[in-house]
Structure 1
């Protein structure tokens, strides 16, 4: 028998966003909630991305919740399987298993204005409802295949890095990798020794920063486990350093241009050390400014191209053929295996949100954002979409780690839920005026960022949407985000109560644990 999908709070997605908000709901006394997950397991990005070499691209100390730090990371930059294990640990430690509903993909939802309920339908025809909905679908979930003619004509093996086929052995194969973003930077060195020949097709080079990675010795891990303050201190230090680079360098480009330029010089020196050949080095040198596109850290990627069995191809691809790739110079690159390291759909119609979401007056969220620019008050709420809160929405992410964003968005959401309980409200909606004022401030601040004050031409960055905005990044510091999530004016929201006897959901959804 399928599980009843009527609940007080519905969470969509069981990645770290969904798991993190679920833990905090339980701590606040909410137990009537479900986590709808379209796949059969938790972990989100770290469940799906299992390609060779996958790892975090910020320090492990910052890639975890502040309230559940992991003293057992094996390296400064932990491999992907340890992130998946961390997600499993959260489920077991905090008793989330009973709230999880797997293989439940929502295909449509709408807000019932009379009952103050979100009603939704799943792909297998089930119906459900929730008083409040928390969107935790994540931003890097839908692979984005390249728009290259003939992609379906290739007769060999094709796979996207986010859908790695572990039953397929690439050993001894002639392999082509399309893409040179952060995923490719990890993948290329990891498979270069295994394949017969590797060709990497580059459209846009990437800034590569030296990676200060090392194993974390077991004695130090035991210290972290026994004295949590020791790990918290390391986390604070590494977080401050990364924030200085990622936030000051991107958000305050006009005020601190020398910071970005200094890091560019560091990257160029790293490239010179790794690649002696000036012609090859020139091909690997970005022509756009640092931080226009998400940079990455590696000590092995650039050096991979000095191997005789690895080629960097910068001639544009004309089409995919049955036996390989034809470039615009007429050359045929014959390969057995085609690996697409082409990233994900991010802020674009059909992905944010990943299914139609109809608010009041029939407004559809994806179309609203597509037509009117991506926007959300404090990165959480949007007018005409009451009782809906997002963990990753436009301008919600700042600083080096997704986890700080998850914690801030969760704090904002919980403050609204508890206030609704206090007032006996069944309806919570951000008012138009504060929302619009906030968005205007975001656009004003964007003028100081690297995205508008520096040279981002040719970066081909997923930070930019089709409006030319950069909704992935909030132009603010981490401490400001933390404060605003906890002290925004509650009168920026409208609270109301439905008068409907025999309501489908109990007030507050709380019960004793």
Structure 2
């Protein structure tokens, strides 16, 4: 059969846009990018809470082929990141390929026709090749706390902020102190009459070297692109040094993690003179077990008279407030859920049911047999399917270098299938299993294998105790591998009656 599209990409965030750009560069024109939202940007379209910004230096937060000399701050605010996504969609002429307001409900592989049948509320879309490019931080996670549904006040998740919500004069309770909480808490502390912050596990916090980038500097970066590339290279190298040498090769360089922890502890000591409060804000797990962040405003917020840090844990939520495990009830008019996202669980990875060969649903298969994914992208049970940002895909490199590596791998496979006149491309079981075994072996030498990580409650880990969110290799290696992996690790099957080349 002739499908509706040769390639269907699900997700119009930076992952999906990257795949679309790579497809156009490879001469593939028959593709569509669908997204449930009314516009592009993905997580940066959804996350508009007060204080939202990148938590890595702006210089690394762009495609290598499309540097952005226009960032106004060293850590770009969320609105600028979303504008950059819109710019890329326009410049690379992706608008004609977009099908917005289109939510994918499920996908099933038709083995007789070698096509994917993708269900949406508007009807079925068929495609030869399917790419899931929905980011890992897409589905907000509400806390599993008794009584949440009974709360009589306003409830808002940071990932779906209500800008009509007025916090002035109200008692606000923030649940969660991860990366989103760290950004939103200082912003709303001055607006609310009183702020209670419920912390389950503290976060490692770096001092934030943030500043406005002067207009003359931005003009220089526009006029001299090599300067911008040099800055990008330097910031990416620093990230690689910490994440790869310290986190991935922890057994070889434990001193690097200790040095980073010392920097963070010194930052905490400088900003919080109270020893008891400092102890409550100090992580008990090793740096790297959980996502860290940067801030100069987070710690001082807890020195305010109208802010209280609650570490006793939450027993239940009542219609009028929160009861902690010490039995103390604190009144609240507004609940702010800074509780992150669903990641390594059924329904989140992949982000919709994906049924491959033999009726195997990928999410259920992974949940039962542990997460596994060749080069972080493909499994034998799902031919013609690639999952961007899947298990074993995230390295310490720039997020955009991860996306570019995934897009390069995917489009290499699609163009090779076209060259061989193949209607089916499936990674072979042998290379897939060898990659998975290698990842699990390498993981034993990382910081994530340390016992203290068990207390971090990190989304890096799944219910099996594995940490398949992370790929224990350097970003440079992954970049090179995406361009050099053996295409014969895939089996390319031509359509019936067609010769292979």
After TM superposition, is the score higher than 0.5?
A: yes
Distance, in Å, in 2 between the alignment partners of 1:284 and 1:109 is: 44
The 8 Å contact of residues 39 and 102 in structure 1, kept in 2 or not, is answered as yes
Which residue among 186, 191, 194 is the counterpart of 1:189? 186
Distance, in Å, in 1 between the alignment partners of 2:6 and 2:454 is: 47
Asked if 1:273 corresponds to 2:270, the answer is yes
Aligned counterparts, 1:275-424, within 5 A? 275-424=272-421
Aligned counterparts, 1:1-40, within 5 A? 6-40=4-38
Q: By how many angstroms is 1:457 displaced?
A: 2.7
> Which residue in the other structure is 1:510 paired with?
none
Q: By how many angstroms is 1:39 displaced?
A: 1.5
What SS does structure 2 have at the residue aligned with 1:104?
Answer: coil
Distance, in Å, in 2 between the alignment partners of 1:435 and 1:5 is: 28
Q: Which runs of 5+ in 2 are unaligned?
A: none
Normalised TM-score (structure 1):
0.95
What SS does structure 2 have at the residue aligned with 1:457?
Answer: helix
> Which residue in the other structure is 2:87 paired with?
89
Which residue among 109, 125, 132 is the counterpart of 2:107? 109
What SS does structure 1 have at the residue aligned with 2:128?
Answer: strand
The 8 Å contact of residues 58 and 400 in structure 1, kept in 2 or not, is answered as no
> Which residue in the other structure is 1:148 paired with?
145
Distance, in Å, in 2 between the alignment partners of 1:297 and 1:478 is: 21
> Which residue in the other structure is 1:474 paired with?
471
Asked if 1:220 corresponds to 2:210, the answer is no
> 1:138-174 CA deviation, whole Å, 9 max, x = no partner?
1001110000000011111101000100011112221
The 8 Å contact of residues 253 and 453 in structure 1, kept in 2 or not, is answered as no
Q: Cα distance 1:405–1:255, how it changes in 2: closer, same or farther (>3 A)?
A: same
> Which residue in the other structure is 2:51 paired with?
53
Aligned counterparts, 1:418-457, within 5 A? 418-453=415-450, 455-457=452-454
The 8 Å contact of residues 350 and 390 in structure 2, kept in 1 or not, is answered as no
> Which residue in the other structure is 1:504 paired with?
none
The 8 Å contact of residues 8 and 127 in structure 2, kept in 1 or not, is answered as yes
> Which residue in the other structure is 1:130 paired with?
127
> 1:157-202 CA deviation, whole Å, 9 max, x = no partner?
1010001000111122211000000101101111111111111000
Stretch deviating more after TM superposition (289-298 or 454-463): 454-463
Q: By how many angstroms is 1:499 displaced?
A: 2.5
Q: By how many angstroms is 1:390 displaced?
A: 1.7
Distance, in Å, in 2 between the alignment partners of 1:238 and 1:329 is: 45
What SS does structure 2 have at the residue aligned with 1:130?
Answer: strand
Q: By how many angstroms is 1:453 displaced?
A: 3.5
> Which residue in the other structure is 1:73 paired with?
71
What SS does structure 2 have at the residue aligned with 1:255?
Answer: coil
Q: By how many angstroms is 1:458 displaced?
A: 1.0
What SS does structure 2 have at the residue aligned with 1:75?
Answer: coil
Distance, in Å, in 2 between the alignment partners of 1:115 and 1:309 is: 64
> 1:397-434 CA deviation, whole Å, 9 max, x = no partner?
10243211100011111111121121111110000001
Give the number of equivalent residue pairs: 498
The 8 Å contact of residues 167 and 192 in structure 2, kept in 1 or not, is answered as yes
> Which residue in the other structure is 2:241 paired with?
244
Distance, in Å, in 1 between the alignment partners of 2:55 and 2:451 is: 24
What SS does structure 2 have at the residue aligned with 1:127?
Answer: strand
Q: Cα distance 1:5–1:296, how it changes in 2: closer, same or farther (>3 A)?
A: farther
Which residue among 97, 121, 126 is the counterpart of 1:99? 97
